[in-house]
Amino acid sequence: MGESPSRSADASTGGSRVTTSHARPAGAVAPTETLTDIPSPTGPQFGPGSGMGGGGGLPRRRAFGAEPAFRAVTLAAGATILIIIVAIAIFLIAKAAPALRANTANFFTAKEWFPNEGRFGIAALAFGTVLTAVIALAAAVPVALGIALYLSHYAPRRVATTLGFLIDLLAAVPSVVFGLWGREVFIHPVDDFAAWLNRYFGWIPIFGSEGPYGRSVMLGSLVLAIMVLPIVTSLSREVFTQTPKANEEAALALGATKWEMIRTAVLPYGRPGIVAAVMLGLGRALGETIALAMTLGATFGISFNLIQSGGNSIAANIANGFGEASDLGRGALIASGLVLFAITLVVNMTARAIIYRRREFTEVAA
Protein backbone atom coordinates (compact mmCIF):
# COMPACT_ATOMS: atom_id res chain seq x y z
CA MET A 1 0.00 0.00 0.00
CA GLY A 2 1.36 3.48 -0.81
CA GLU A 3 1.58 6.67 1.20
CA SER A 4 -0.37 9.84 0.41
CA PRO A 5 1.09 12.94 2.04
CA SER A 6 -1.17 15.91 2.71
CA ARG A 7 -0.37 19.49 3.72
CA SER A 8 -2.64 21.66 5.88
CA ALA A 9 -2.23 25.25 6.96
CA ASP A 10 -1.99 26.14 10.70
CA ALA A 11 -3.97 29.29 11.12
CA SER A 12 -2.86 29.97 14.72
CA THR A 13 0.92 30.04 14.09
CA GLY A 14 1.06 30.99 10.49
CA GLY A 15 3.17 27.94 9.65
CA SER A 16 2.35 24.70 7.92
CA ARG A 17 2.07 21.15 9.17
CA VAL A 18 3.00 18.04 7.17
CA THR A 19 1.15 14.88 8.09
CA THR A 20 2.00 11.51 6.63
CA SER A 21 -0.77 8.92 6.60
CA HIS A 22 -0.25 5.21 6.07
CA ALA A 23 -2.75 2.94 4.43
CA ARG A 24 -3.60 -0.06 6.54
CA PRO A 25 -5.88 -3.02 6.27
CA ALA A 26 -9.30 -2.91 7.79
CA GLY A 27 -9.31 -3.78 11.46
CA ALA A 28 -5.57 -3.14 11.91
CA VAL A 29 -4.33 -0.98 14.75
CA ALA A 30 -3.45 2.52 13.65
CA PRO A 31 0.27 3.28 13.95
CA THR A 32 1.52 6.41 15.62
CA GLU A 33 1.31 9.33 13.29
CA THR A 34 4.41 11.36 12.62
CA LEU A 35 3.89 15.02 13.23
CA THR A 36 6.45 17.52 12.04
CA ASP A 37 6.07 21.14 13.04
CA ILE A 38 7.49 23.78 10.78
CA PRO A 39 8.09 26.85 12.99
CA SER A 40 7.03 30.19 11.73
CA PRO A 41 9.23 33.27 12.15
CA THR A 42 6.90 35.03 14.53
CA GLY A 43 7.59 37.14 17.68
CA PRO A 44 9.29 36.09 20.95
CA GLN A 45 8.24 32.84 22.52
CA PHE A 46 6.99 32.67 26.13
CA GLY A 47 6.95 29.55 28.21
CA PRO A 48 8.93 27.38 30.62
CA GLY A 49 12.63 28.04 30.48
CA SER A 50 12.25 31.33 28.66
CA GLY A 51 12.81 33.35 31.85
CA MET A 52 9.79 35.54 31.11
CA GLY A 53 6.34 34.85 32.43
CA GLY A 54 4.85 31.46 33.15
CA GLY A 55 6.87 29.25 35.46
CA GLY A 56 10.25 29.93 33.87
CA GLY A 57 13.18 31.83 35.27
CA LEU A 58 14.21 32.43 38.87
CA PRO A 59 11.55 33.21 41.48
CA ARG A 60 11.18 36.89 42.21
CA ARG A 61 12.36 36.49 45.82
CA ARG A 62 15.60 34.90 44.65
CA ALA A 63 16.08 37.34 41.82
CA PHE A 64 16.04 40.28 44.23
CA GLY A 65 17.95 38.51 47.08
CA ALA A 66 15.13 38.49 49.62
CA GLU A 67 16.31 35.31 51.36
CA PRO A 68 19.89 36.53 52.05
CA ALA A 69 18.57 39.92 53.11
CA PHE A 70 16.14 38.41 55.61
CA ARG A 71 18.84 36.14 56.97
CA ALA A 72 21.15 39.12 57.44
CA VAL A 73 18.45 41.11 59.25
CA THR A 74 17.70 38.28 61.69
CA LEU A 75 21.42 37.72 62.29
CA ALA A 76 21.88 41.43 63.00
CA ALA A 77 18.93 41.39 65.43
CA GLY A 78 20.38 38.47 67.36
CA ALA A 79 23.87 39.96 67.41
CA THR A 80 22.48 43.27 68.68
CA ILE A 81 21.31 41.62 71.89
CA LEU A 82 24.76 40.19 72.53
CA ILE A 83 26.38 43.54 71.77
CA ILE A 84 24.06 45.31 74.23
CA ILE A 85 24.80 42.77 76.99
CA VAL A 86 28.55 43.11 76.45
CA ALA A 87 28.26 46.91 76.38
CA ILE A 88 26.37 46.92 79.69
CA ALA A 89 28.99 44.67 81.28
CA ILE A 90 31.82 46.88 80.03
CA PHE A 91 30.07 50.00 81.35
CA LEU A 92 29.52 48.49 84.79
CA ILE A 93 33.09 47.25 85.08
CA ALA A 94 34.57 50.57 83.94
CA LYS A 95 32.48 52.62 86.38
CA ALA A 96 32.93 50.24 89.31
CA ALA A 97 36.69 49.72 88.97
CA PRO A 98 37.79 52.98 90.74
CA ALA A 99 35.54 52.30 93.75
CA LEU A 100 36.68 48.69 93.98
CA ARG A 101 40.33 49.78 93.94
CA ALA A 102 39.66 52.29 96.72
CA ASN A 103 37.73 49.78 98.86
CA THR A 104 39.62 48.61 101.93
CA ALA A 105 37.14 45.84 102.87
CA ASN A 106 36.48 42.55 101.15
CA PHE A 107 33.80 43.38 98.60
CA PHE A 108 32.26 39.88 98.56
CA THR A 109 32.26 39.07 102.28
CA ALA A 110 31.92 42.41 104.09
CA LYS A 111 28.46 43.32 105.38
CA GLU A 112 28.96 47.03 106.17
CA TRP A 113 28.19 49.70 103.62
CA PHE A 114 30.26 52.89 104.09
CA PRO A 115 31.41 53.76 100.57
CA ASN A 116 32.39 57.34 101.46
CA GLU A 117 34.85 55.91 103.99
CA GLY A 118 36.16 53.33 101.54
CA ARG A 119 34.57 50.34 103.30
CA PHE A 120 31.71 48.49 101.66
CA GLY A 121 30.71 44.92 100.85
CA ILE A 122 27.97 43.14 98.95
CA ALA A 123 27.33 40.19 101.28
CA ALA A 124 24.30 41.61 103.14
CA LEU A 125 22.71 43.09 100.01
CA ALA A 126 23.15 39.91 97.95
CA PHE A 127 21.74 37.85 100.81
CA GLY A 128 18.67 40.08 101.10
CA THR A 129 18.14 40.04 97.33
CA VAL A 130 18.19 36.26 97.08
CA LEU A 131 16.19 35.75 100.28
CA THR A 132 13.30 38.02 99.29
CA ALA A 133 13.19 36.54 95.77
CA VAL A 134 13.14 32.93 97.01
CA ILE A 135 10.42 33.61 99.59
CA ALA A 136 8.37 35.46 96.98
CA LEU A 137 8.58 32.50 94.60
CA ALA A 138 7.79 30.03 97.38
CA ALA A 139 4.60 31.97 98.09
CA ALA A 140 3.62 32.77 94.50
CA VAL A 141 4.40 29.62 92.46
CA PRO A 142 1.95 27.17 94.13
CA VAL A 143 -0.87 29.72 93.93
CA ALA A 144 0.01 30.60 90.34
CA LEU A 145 0.06 26.95 89.22
CA GLY A 146 -3.26 26.29 90.96
CA ILE A 147 -4.88 29.27 89.24
CA ALA A 148 -3.41 28.22 85.88
CA LEU A 149 -4.76 24.68 86.21
CA TYR A 150 -8.18 25.97 87.25
CA LEU A 151 -8.35 28.33 84.28
CA SER A 152 -7.18 25.72 81.77
CA HIS A 153 -9.01 22.56 82.92
CA TYR A 154 -11.71 23.31 85.49
CA ALA A 155 -13.27 26.74 85.07
CA PRO A 156 -16.14 27.37 82.62
CA ARG A 157 -15.08 29.26 79.53
CA ARG A 158 -16.70 32.54 80.57
CA VAL A 159 -15.22 32.43 84.06
CA ALA A 160 -11.79 31.47 82.72
CA THR A 161 -11.82 34.34 80.23
CA THR A 162 -12.84 36.94 82.80
CA LEU A 163 -10.50 35.74 85.54
CA GLY A 164 -7.61 35.40 83.10
CA PHE A 165 -8.15 38.98 81.93
CA LEU A 166 -8.08 40.25 85.52
CA ILE A 167 -4.87 38.37 86.28
CA ASP A 168 -3.21 39.74 83.15
CA LEU A 169 -4.38 43.20 84.14
CA LEU A 170 -2.62 42.80 87.50
CA ALA A 171 0.71 42.61 85.67
CA ALA A 172 0.13 46.11 84.27
CA VAL A 173 0.02 47.78 87.69
CA PRO A 174 3.19 49.89 88.20
CA SER A 175 5.70 48.86 90.84
CA VAL A 176 5.37 52.13 92.72
CA VAL A 177 1.66 51.44 93.24
CA PHE A 178 2.45 48.05 94.78
CA GLY A 179 5.07 49.70 96.98
CA LEU A 180 2.73 52.42 98.23
CA TRP A 181 -0.04 49.91 98.83
CA GLY A 182 2.31 47.61 100.73
CA ARG A 183 3.74 50.38 102.92
CA GLU A 184 0.45 52.12 103.73
CA VAL A 185 -2.20 49.35 103.66
CA PHE A 186 -0.77 45.84 103.52
CA ILE A 187 1.68 46.47 106.35
CA HIS A 188 -1.05 46.31 109.02
CA PRO A 189 -2.33 42.75 108.32
CA VAL A 190 1.28 41.61 107.87
CA ASP A 191 2.14 43.00 111.32
CA ASP A 192 -0.78 41.10 112.86
CA PHE A 193 0.25 37.95 111.02
CA ALA A 194 3.86 38.36 112.21
CA ALA A 195 2.69 38.72 115.81
CA TRP A 196 0.58 35.58 115.45
CA LEU A 197 3.53 33.65 114.02
CA ASN A 198 5.75 34.74 116.88
CA ARG A 199 3.14 33.78 119.46
CA TYR A 200 2.65 30.22 118.21
CA PHE A 201 5.81 29.50 116.23
CA GLY A 202 8.36 31.70 117.97
CA TRP A 203 10.52 28.67 118.70
CA ILE A 204 11.38 28.62 114.98
CA PRO A 205 14.33 31.00 114.36
CA ILE A 206 12.75 32.69 111.35
CA PHE A 207 9.76 33.74 113.49
CA GLY A 208 11.65 34.36 116.73
CA SER A 209 11.33 38.13 117.03
CA GLU A 210 8.93 40.01 119.28
CA GLY A 211 9.17 43.16 117.20
CA PRO A 212 9.23 45.73 115.94
CA TYR A 213 7.78 44.29 112.75
CA GLY A 214 6.75 46.91 110.19
CA ARG A 215 8.94 47.03 107.08
CA SER A 216 10.41 43.55 107.07
CA VAL A 217 11.53 40.78 104.77
CA MET A 218 8.09 39.18 105.06
CA LEU A 219 6.30 42.35 103.96
CA GLY A 220 8.62 42.89 101.00
CA SER A 221 8.48 39.23 99.96
CA LEU A 222 4.67 39.07 100.05
CA VAL A 223 4.35 42.25 97.99
CA LEU A 224 6.89 40.81 95.58
CA ALA A 225 4.92 37.55 95.40
CA ILE A 226 1.80 39.46 94.34
CA MET A 227 3.82 41.15 91.60
CA VAL A 228 5.29 37.86 90.35
CA LEU A 229 1.95 35.99 90.47
CA PRO A 230 0.46 37.19 87.12
CA ILE A 231 3.64 36.40 85.18
CA VAL A 232 3.88 32.81 86.35
CA THR A 233 0.11 32.31 86.05
CA SER A 234 -0.18 33.57 82.48
CA LEU A 235 2.75 31.57 81.12
CA SER A 236 1.75 28.39 82.93
CA ARG A 237 -1.83 28.68 81.70
CA GLU A 238 -0.65 28.95 78.10
CA VAL A 239 1.59 25.91 78.55
CA PHE A 240 -1.20 23.82 80.08
CA THR A 241 -3.64 24.66 77.28
CA GLN A 242 -1.13 23.42 74.68
CA THR A 243 -1.08 19.88 76.07
CA PRO A 244 -2.06 17.48 73.26
CA LYS A 245 -5.67 16.41 73.62
CA ALA A 246 -4.71 12.88 72.64
CA ASN A 247 -2.57 12.57 75.78
CA GLU A 248 -5.39 13.78 78.03
CA GLU A 249 -8.02 11.58 76.37
CA ALA A 250 -5.73 8.55 76.55
CA ALA A 251 -5.27 9.01 80.30
CA LEU A 252 -9.02 9.42 80.83
CA ALA A 253 -9.75 6.40 78.65
CA LEU A 254 -7.52 4.27 80.86
CA GLY A 255 -9.67 5.16 83.86
CA ALA A 256 -7.68 8.04 85.35
CA THR A 257 -9.46 10.74 87.29
CA LYS A 258 -9.09 14.35 86.21
CA TRP A 259 -6.36 15.00 88.77
CA GLU A 260 -4.53 11.83 87.74
CA MET A 261 -4.79 12.92 84.11
CA ILE A 262 -3.29 16.31 85.02
CA ARG A 263 -0.53 14.67 87.06
CA THR A 264 0.42 12.14 84.38
CA ALA A 265 -0.24 14.04 81.15
CA VAL A 266 -0.45 17.80 81.68
CA LEU A 267 2.25 18.51 84.26
CA PRO A 268 5.02 16.38 82.65
CA TYR A 269 4.33 17.91 79.24
CA GLY A 270 4.33 21.45 80.62
CA ARG A 271 7.36 21.07 82.89
CA PRO A 272 9.78 23.01 80.64
CA GLY A 273 7.26 25.82 80.34
CA ILE A 274 6.73 25.86 84.11
CA VAL A 275 10.48 26.12 84.66
CA ALA A 276 10.67 28.99 82.18
CA ALA A 277 7.77 30.79 83.89
CA VAL A 278 9.32 30.37 87.34
CA MET A 279 12.71 31.59 86.16
CA LEU A 280 11.13 34.60 84.47
CA GLY A 281 9.35 35.38 87.72
CA LEU A 282 12.63 34.96 89.59
CA GLY A 283 14.29 37.44 87.27
CA ARG A 284 11.51 39.92 87.97
CA ALA A 285 11.88 39.35 91.72
CA LEU A 286 15.67 39.78 91.68
CA GLY A 287 15.53 43.06 89.80
CA GLU A 288 12.56 44.67 91.54
CA THR A 289 13.50 48.10 92.89
CA ILE A 290 10.80 50.56 93.94
CA ALA A 291 8.44 48.15 95.68
CA LEU A 292 11.23 46.69 97.83
CA ALA A 293 12.69 50.12 98.52
CA MET A 294 9.34 51.07 100.08
CA THR A 295 8.71 47.86 102.01
CA LEU A 296 12.14 46.78 103.33
CA GLY A 297 13.82 48.26 106.36
CA ALA A 298 17.04 49.37 104.58
CA THR A 299 19.39 47.73 107.07
CA PHE A 300 22.69 45.97 106.39
CA GLY A 301 22.99 42.57 107.99
CA ILE A 302 22.54 38.85 107.40
CA SER A 303 19.60 37.42 109.30
CA PHE A 304 17.08 34.70 108.52
CA ASN A 305 14.45 36.31 110.72
CA LEU A 306 11.57 37.16 108.41
CA ILE A 307 9.26 39.15 110.65
CA GLN A 308 11.64 41.58 112.34
CA SER A 309 11.93 45.03 110.79
CA GLY A 310 14.94 45.25 108.49
CA GLY A 311 16.30 43.75 105.32
CA ASN A 312 17.65 45.22 102.12
CA SER A 313 18.40 44.30 98.51
CA ILE A 314 20.81 45.40 95.84
CA ALA A 315 18.20 47.14 93.69
CA ALA A 316 16.50 48.81 96.66
CA ASN A 317 19.83 50.07 97.99
CA ILE A 318 20.70 51.57 94.60
CA ALA A 319 17.33 53.34 94.44
CA ASN A 320 17.63 54.71 97.98
CA GLY A 321 21.23 55.87 97.81
CA PHE A 322 22.10 56.81 94.24
CA GLY A 323 20.70 60.34 94.32
CA GLU A 324 22.74 61.49 97.33
CA ALA A 325 25.89 59.43 96.80
CA SER A 326 29.31 60.89 96.10
CA ASP A 327 31.47 59.80 93.20
CA LEU A 328 32.96 56.99 95.24
CA GLY A 329 29.52 56.05 96.55
CA ARG A 330 28.09 55.89 93.04
CA GLY A 331 30.95 53.67 91.99
CA ALA A 332 30.16 51.35 94.89
CA LEU A 333 26.49 51.25 93.90
CA ILE A 334 27.42 50.47 90.31
CA ALA A 335 29.67 47.68 91.58
CA SER A 336 26.69 46.22 93.43
CA GLY A 337 24.70 46.53 90.20
CA LEU A 338 27.41 44.51 88.47
CA VAL A 339 26.86 41.72 91.00
CA LEU A 340 23.11 41.84 90.38
CA PHE A 341 23.80 41.70 86.62
CA ALA A 342 25.91 38.57 87.12
CA ILE A 343 23.27 36.92 89.33
CA THR A 344 20.61 37.56 86.68
CA LEU A 345 22.78 36.08 83.94
CA VAL A 346 23.46 32.96 86.02
CA VAL A 347 19.73 32.51 86.73
CA ASN A 348 18.78 32.81 83.06
CA MET A 349 21.56 30.50 81.90
CA THR A 350 20.47 27.92 84.48
CA ALA A 351 16.89 28.15 83.23
CA ARG A 352 17.99 27.67 79.64
CA ALA A 353 20.06 24.63 80.64
CA ILE A 354 17.09 23.05 82.42
CA ILE A 355 14.79 23.66 79.47
CA TYR A 356 17.42 22.30 77.06
CA ARG A 357 17.67 19.06 79.02
CA ARG A 358 13.88 18.60 78.82
CA ARG A 359 13.50 19.37 75.11
CA GLU A 360 13.58 15.69 74.04
CA PHE A 361 10.55 14.88 76.20
CA THR A 362 8.67 17.86 74.82
CA GLU A 363 9.41 16.90 71.21
CA VAL A 364 8.35 13.28 71.77
CA ALA A 365 5.17 14.29 73.61
CA ALA A 366 4.26 16.74 70.89
Check residue 3 and give its pLDDT.
Answer: 45
Check residue 314 and give its pLDDT.
Answer: 93
Q: What angle do CA 340, 344, 350 make, to 5 degrees?
A: 145
Residue 122 has pLDDT above 90, yes or no: yes
> What is the Cβ-side half-sphere exposure of residue 271, based on CA atoms within 13 angstroms?
17
Does the pTM of the predicted model rise above 0.85? no
Query: pLDDT tens-digit profile of 289-308?
Result: 899 999 998 888 888 889 98
Question: In angstroms, how far is CA 5 from the centroid of its own chain?
Answer: 80
Amino acid in position 92: L
Amino acid in position 102: A
Burial class (CB in 10 A: 0-12, 13-18, 19+), 1: exposed
List of residues 6+ apart from 51 with CB closer than 8 A: 57, 58
Residue 235 has pLDDT above 70, yes or no: yes
Query: pLDDT tens-digit profile of 79-90?
Result: 999 999 999 999
Query: pLDDT tens-digit profile of 185-210?
Result: 999 999 999 989 988 888 888 888 77
φ, ψ for residue 26 (rounded to 5)? Answer: -65, 135
Residue 350 has pLDDT above 50, yes or no: yes
Q: How confident is the model at residue 60 (pLDDT cuts 50, 70, 90)?
A: low
Q: How confident is the model at residue 359 (pLDDT cuts 50, 70, 90)?
A: low
Residue 4 has pLDDT above 80, yes or no: no
Packed helices 327-357 and 271-287: angle between N→C axes, nearest 10 degrees = 180
> What residue ranges define each of the domains in the chain, with the CATH number in brackets?
72-365 (1.10.3720.10)
Q: How confident is the model at residue 50 (pLDDT cuts 50, 70, 90)?
A: very low
Average pLDDT over residues 274-290: 88
- Cα distance between residue 302 and residue 292, in whole Å: 17
Mean pLDDT of the chain: 81
